[in-house]
């Protein structure tokens, strides 16, 4: 009997150890005209980025896991622009103006931060001015910044000299303005990933609930490019595209260690770039590129 048990235990041990035990990740393309590639991972030096933005041939990261602001392209590699030593804690989302000044939010340290084109970092406005937990950020036409606050449940307007005023108050009913972006008509899209609603504030300052599907939709980051709004959803692990007047379309679904899709941006060639926080605590992140299959590009 003892031999029998040993044989069975050995079989069990071999069975368990022969399997490839590791956490894997997948991308399921629901729109088959796209393909997915891994653009970058921790090997290039990033931590676990949240917001990301394509600007003048470079990809900029609000690296929440690595607590840094970084830029990257294939030729120059990763460049750390600023790190935790200057006081920010969890860089969340970012915008860049035409003069290459970078503005970013921080949901732990709060405030609005600026990294100037000449390499200086400053806090434009901090917690003392009511910016407690800053999330989404968008740049208005007049150059002021709109900043969403997840704890105040408001959207503030912040001028370059640090004046803070209310842009959308609590009465607007937006619980967590996680991400914001202007379209080319001057309408402002606002993603609330706590109430799971995508809002649109039109030019007449009227707020519309564009997508409101509760459980099945939770907009994390939104990015507007060439008439379409790209939306990541970290709760439902999806990437969508929304075109006004059309249904919300799923481009891809994510699973395993790639499920936590966060930031989204589009590069000059129209490729969609996504940041994935695989393990924020252990600073594991990936950047995925979703691009059209070559046959589709040729057809175009």
Partner 1 sequence: MVLSALMPLFLISSVDRLSDLNDQLLLLLNSAAGRSWLFDSLVAFFLDNDLAKAGVIGCCFLAAWYGGKSSNSTNARRKILITTLVAAVCVITTTKVLSKTIFLPRPEIQSQKIYRLDGDQLVEMKRMPVRFMLDEESQKSYHALLNGDVETNDLGSFPSDHAGFFIAISLGIWLASRRLGWLALGWTAIVILGGKMISAQHTPLDIAAGAGVAIVELSAIQYVLRKRFNGILERLTSLTLRYSALSSAIVFLVAFEVSSTMIHIRAFLGLLAAMRRHVLLGMG
Q: Does 214 bind partner 1 (CB under 8 A)?
A: no
Burial of 142 (0-12, 13-18, 19+ CB in 10 A): exposed
Provide the token pair at 49: 């980025």
Rounded distance, CA 254 to CA 259, Å? 5
Q: Compute the C-alpha angle 147/148/149, nearest 5°.
A: 120
> How far is CA 131 from each of CA 109, 177, 220, rounded to the nearest angstrom?
9, 13, 20
Nearer to partner 1, 94 or 274 (CB): 274
CA 289 to chain centre: 13
For partner 1, which residue of 54, 99, 190, 257 counts as binding (CB under 8 A)? 257
Q: Does 25 bind partner 1 (CB under 8 A)?
A: yes
For partner 1, which residue of 16, 98, 203, 298 counts as binding (CB under 8 A)? 16
For partner 1, which residue of 129, 153, 176, 238 counts as binding (CB under 8 A)? 238
Report which of 288, 149, 283 is spatially closest to residue 232, judged by C-alpha positions.
Answer: 288
Q: Does 15 bind partner 1 (CB under 8 A)?
A: yes
Shortest distance, CB of residue 41 to partner 1, whole angstroms?
A: 6
Q: Does 27 bind partner 1 (CB under 8 A)?
A: yes
Rounded distance, CA 103 to CA 112, Å? 7
Shortest distance, CB of residue 227 to partner 1, whole angstroms?
A: 22
Shortest distance, CB of residue 142 to partner 1, whole angstroms?
A: 39
Burial of 207 (0-12, 13-18, 19+ CB in 10 A): middle
Q: Does 86 bind partner 1 (CB under 8 A)?
A: no
Nearer to partner 1, 186 or 256 (CB): 256
Task: Provide the 10 A C-beta neighbour count for residue 221.
Answer: 29
Q: Does 3 bind partner 1 (CB under 8 A)?
A: no
Shortest distance, CB of residue 159 to partner 1, whole angstroms?
A: 36
Helix (H) or strand (E) holding 76: none
Q: Does 37 bind partner 1 (CB under 8 A)?
A: yes
For partner 1, which residue of 17, 20, 222, 241 counts as binding (CB under 8 A)? 20
The counts of H helices and E strands in the chain are 2, 25
Q: Compute the C-alpha angle 147/153/159, nearest 5°.
A: 25
Q: Does 36 bind partner 1 (CB under 8 A)?
A: yes
Shortest distance, CB of residue 7 to partner 1, whole angstroms?
A: 10
Convert residues 271-290 into a mask of x (bound to partner 1 by CB under 8 A) and - (unbound): ---------------x-x--
Shortest distance, CB of residue 15 to partner 1, whole angstroms?
A: 6
| The one segment of 56-64, 85-93, 217-225, 247-255 that binds partner 1 by CB under 8 A | 247-255
Q: Does 67 bind partner 1 (CB under 8 A)?
A: no
> How far is CA 249 from each of CA 197, 238, 283, rounded to the nearest angstrom?
16, 10, 31
Rounded distance, CA 86 to CA 264, Å? 26
The residue ranges that bind partner 1 (CB under 8 A) are: 1, 4-5, 8-9, 11-12, 15-16, 19-30, 32, 35-38, 41, 43, 216, 236-238, 250, 252-253, 255-259, 286, 288
């Amino acid at each position: 009997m003892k031999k029998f048990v040993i044989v069975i235990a050995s079989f069990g041990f071999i069975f368990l150890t022969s399997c490839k035990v590791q956490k894997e990740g997948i991308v399921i393309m629901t729109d088959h005209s796209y393909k997915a590639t891994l653009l970058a991972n921790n090997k290039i030096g990033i931590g676990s980025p949240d917001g990301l933005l394509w600007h003048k041939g470079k990809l900029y990261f609000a690296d929440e896991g690595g607590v840094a602001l970084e830029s990257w392209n294939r030729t120059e590699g990763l460049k750390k622009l600023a790190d935790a030593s200057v006081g920010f804690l969890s860089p969340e989302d970012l915008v860049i103006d035409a003069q290459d000044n970078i503005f970013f939010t921080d949901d732990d340290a709060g405030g609005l931060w600026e990294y100037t084109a000449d390499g200086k970092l400053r806090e434009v406005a901090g917690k003392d001015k009511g910016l407690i937990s800053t999330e989404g950020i968008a740049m208005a036409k007049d150059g002021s910044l709109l900043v969403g606050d997840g704890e105040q449940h408001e959207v503030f307007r912040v001028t370059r000299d640090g004046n803070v005023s209310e842009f959308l108050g609590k009465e607007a009913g937006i619980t967590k303005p996680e991400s914001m972006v202007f379209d080319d008509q001057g309408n402002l899209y606002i993603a609330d990933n706590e109430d799971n609603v995508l809002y649109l504030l039109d030019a007449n300052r009227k707020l519309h609930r564009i997508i409101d599907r509760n459980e099945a939709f939770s907009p994390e980051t939104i990015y507007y490019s060439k008439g379409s709004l790209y939306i990541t959803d970290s709760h439902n692990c999806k990437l969508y595209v929304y075109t006004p007047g059309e249904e919300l379309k799923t481009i891809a679904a994510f699973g395993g260690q790639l499920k936590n899709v966060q930031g989204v941006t589009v590069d000059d060639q129209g490729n969609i770039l996504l940041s994935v926080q695989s393990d924020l605590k252990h600073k594991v992140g990936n950047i995925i590129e979703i691009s059209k299959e070559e046959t589709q590009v040729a057809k175009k």
